[in-house]
A and B are shown apart, each in its own frame.
Chain A
Amino acid sequence: MLTHLQPSSAAPGRVVILGAGGFVARALATRLTASGIPVVAVPSRQIDLAAAEAGPALAALLQAGDAVVMTSALTPDKGRDAATLMKNLRMAESVAAALAARPCAQLVYLSSDAVYDWRHPLVAETTAPSPTDLYSTMHLAREQLLGAATVAAKVPFCILRPCAVYGPGDTHNGYGPNRFARTALAEGKIKLFGGGEEMRDHVFIDDLTAVIELTLRHRSTGTLNVVSGRSTSFAEVAAQIAARCPKPVAIEPQPRGGPVTHRHFDPSALLRAFPQHRPTDLASGLPRLLATP
């Protein structure tokens, strides 16, 4: 649930985006710039948040009126081991140190729906987080670490937990719409685990950046799941992509590695927080993905 410290929408003075080389960060920078909001994009090559000197370096860059959006994370494709976990935690520690030295106007942390146990069939913000691997443990630990730091520094703190994000410009190749679109266009096939029965909530990238912009404009605090509220099976996603491709696409079943799991989200808190937000449905989002996969 979010609380808006700024009930009327107002553009932040400046937004510092950490992890600026990533999929979400790039889309966010484009959006904010188009909205006339000054953006300072900080990629890892400029400040490696996992490095020892990162905290002071970031503090030197921050101004009191800045809103900071932390998208930086080593995702599971970069490693699922303890070393990756510790690097990710050091990134949060650096941000915490920077905030202690130079408190800013707001911190928005991009967490993940991974903090919830897969056994919850319907997830809401009131669902208790229950990490099941090091990646989800990392996000929850970062939420706690940054939460404590922002309380100490008196910085408004907003946690966003998006579910599976898809859209043009994705740098990952995770199982789902992005990979399906790429292989459909390049190879004329989509590989599905089992029958693709698993239900998932897929969020279009523009919806996520729109919600981030709203949290910045309202200086929101609290925790919010960024979801569409409508889950679709991977089989249905694959079928919709195949139907939109210019050439025939074969959908190829592959052996399934684990049991079938489903995930649905209650979007009520998002609808209440931002009544003007209109989630993009797959029928609208997939053509835009296929246009620039």
Chain B
Amino acid sequence: MIGFVGLSHLGLNYSLATAAKGFDVVAYDPDAALATRCTTGNFPIEEPGFKELFAANRGRLRYTSDAALLAQCDLVFYALDIRTNDRNESDTGPLTKLIHDTVPVLAAGTTVVLLSQVSPGYTRQLVADLTKRPEVKARTFYYQVETLIFGAAVQRAMEPERYIVGSADPTAPVPARFAAWHAAFQCPVLVMRYESAELAKIAINFFLVSSVSTTNTLAEVCEAIGADWNEIAPALRLDKRIGPHAYLKPGLGIAGGNLERDLVTVRSLAARHGTDDRVVAAWQANSVYRRDWALRCVHQKLLGRVRDPLLAVWGIAYKQDTHSVKNSPSVELLRALPGVRILAHDPAAQLPDTGCGHVTVVPGPLDALEGADALLVMTPWKVYAGITAADIKARLKGRLVIDPNAVLDEKGCRAAGLDYHRLGC
């Protein structure tokens, strides 16, 4: 039996992927209502393929709030998502409490694996603290990097590129049960010391951020000089030093929270250890600047010219295929336009509780267009890509279409006489 502790985004996806690979799974959370909700298939997350995979594997998966069941497990993953505050600082307090509350239940031979997103140094300190407690019988602790992507969590959990494992002794083989679990996913496994694994997770995100920031910096230059980033990106993908899968799509800064959290973590480490973090500060500043691209655009193109305008906003989530609005550029835009009438739509996300009282959510994307002076497509949901320029033109009162992520048919919009604007051009 394999155990998972913490039924947040990470735990739900990895426990389901483990069941889908044929293992019997106990997935525990102290929140009894949450465990009951998951048992009935009413999950608090939105991920493509999740419900289908659950339907096919629910017989091997038991959600519970009874920690005693973890005693039956010989391999237990701690997979509670780490929340961040408004400054993108991690709060590992709930994870630490959860671990200390439940580890004493585990049997002596149990292998414990920490999956949550922790800062370098956390695992070694945690292990030191746990091993001081005589009631803790488990003695084998690992940290494993997760690279969950909102909107692609199931696919990445089922088909990981590699596993990065942090160990107290990287020269020693991992326990057979843990190795068997790895083998089920058929990917390379890299074992290293705890701190290296913890920093490897951040290193991956840093290379993503550097690609995003470089793309956004040059996309803005494109906008200024009449170049088109969409013509440049294919050339970069053919460069072996950059590659076909590089993050080369311009965006509204770095959203979602995880990448920002790692930037904050490294700046904190740099401050403590005296390392150079100026490039990190520049990434952060660029992200905030590009996040406000649509705000500047709508002020420049519309708000100074039309009295009491009505805006249609498609998308509230920070990206497509997720309900998360953490650091969402759309939400930041809505909050920056108090007093402006706005009709908004999103297939999954809801408006946050604060700062959006002037926004009316409508059931369908076309409902938002009726009589609007401008359309802003703030989240690149696929459903929006299927809406034609003619449909938009027929309902929109004005001509302005701000589509930063280039979701719509650009040529069609221009041909229909819409005043179309996107990033990178």
Contact = CB atoms under 8 A, between A and B. Distances in A.
Interface string B299-316: 110011000000000000
B289 interface: yes
A276 B292 CA distance: 16
Given A126-B288, A268-B296, A272-B295, 12 more contacts: A124-B289, A126-B285, A266-B289, A266-B292, A267-B296, A268-B288, A271-B295, A271-B296, A272-B292, A278-B303, A279-B304, A281-B304
Contacts of B299: 229, 267, 271, 278
Nearest to A268: B292
Interface stretch (B33-41, B204-212, B336-344): B336-344
Point out which of A126, A267, A275 has the most chain B C-beta atoms below 10 A from its C-beta. Answer: A275
A271 B337 CA distance: 9
A122 B285 CA distance: 11
Nearest to B304: A278
23 contacts: A122-B289, A124-B285, A124-B289, A126-B288, A229-B296, A229-B300, A230-B300, A268-B289, A268-B292, A268-B295, A268-B296, A271-B292, A271-B295, A271-B296, A271-B299, A272-B292, A272-B336, A275-B337, A275-B339, A275-B340, A278-B303, A279-B304, A281-B304
A275 B340 CA distance: 9
B252 to A, nearest CB: 12
Contacts of B296: 229, 267-268, 271
A124 B289 CA distance: 9
Contacts of B340: 275
A139 to B, nearest CB: 22
Contacts of B304: 278-279, 281
A126 B284 CA distance: 11
A264 B24 CA distance: 60
A266 B295 CA distance: 11
A229 B337 CA distance: 17
Contacts of A122: 289
A133 B339 CA distance: 42
A268 B295 CA distance: 7
Contacts of A266: 289, 292
Contact of A275 (B289, B292, B338): B338
Nearest to A270: B299
Contacts of A271: 292, 295-296, 299, 336
Interface in A222-276: 229-230, 266-268, 271-272, 275-276
Interface string B254-298: 000000000000000000000000000000010011001001100
A175 B337 CA distance: 36
Contact size class for B? 10 to 19
Interface string A274-293: 01101101000000000000
Contacts of A229: 296, 299-300
Nearest to B224: A264
Nearest to A7: B338
A275 B336 contact: yes
Nearest to B281: A126
A147 to B, nearest CB: 22
B219 to A, nearest CB: 15
B336 to A, nearest CB: 5
Q: Which residue, A126, A229, A271, A279, has most C-beta atoms of chain B within 10 A?
A: A271
A249 B338 CA distance: 45
A177 B285 CA distance: 32
B339 A276 contact: yes
Nearest to A127: B285
B254 to A, nearest CB: 16
Interface string B329-341: 0000000111110
Nearest to B285: A126
A184 B285 CA distance: 41
Interface in A155-213: none
Nearest to B332: A272
Contacts of A275: 303, 336-340
Contacts of A126: 285, 288
10 tightest A-B CB contacts, nearest first: A268-B292, A278-B304, A272-B336, A271-B299, A275-B337, A126-B285, A275-B338, A266-B289, A271-B295, A275-B339
A268 B336 CA distance: 9
A2 to B, nearest CB: 13
A113 to B, nearest CB: 17
Interface string A109-143: 00000000000001010100000000000000000
A125 to B, nearest CB: 11
Which of A267, A268, A272 has most B Cβ within 10 Å?
A268
Nearest to B289: A266
Contacts of A279: 304
Contacts of B339: 275-276
B281 to A, nearest CB: 9
Contacts of A276: 339
Contacts of B285: 124, 126
Interface in B317-362: 336-340
Interface in A24-65: none
A281 B337 CA distance: 21
A271 B299 CA distance: 8
A124 B292 CA distance: 12
Nearest to B305: A278
A60 to B, nearest CB: 41
**B295, B296, B299 pick with most chain A CB within 10 angstroms:** B299
B2 to A, nearest CB: 47
B78 to A, nearest CB: 37
A217 to B, nearest CB: 14
A124 B286 CA distance: 11
A272 B291 CA distance: 13
Contacts of A281: 304
B120 to A, nearest CB: 27
Interface string A59-91: 000000000000000000000000000000000
Nearest to B337: A275
A276 B307 CA distance: 11
Nearest to A126: B285
A112 to B, nearest CB: 22
A223 to B, nearest CB: 16
A248 B300 CA distance: 32
A229 B339 CA distance: 21
Nearest to A279: B304
Contacts of A272: 292, 295, 336
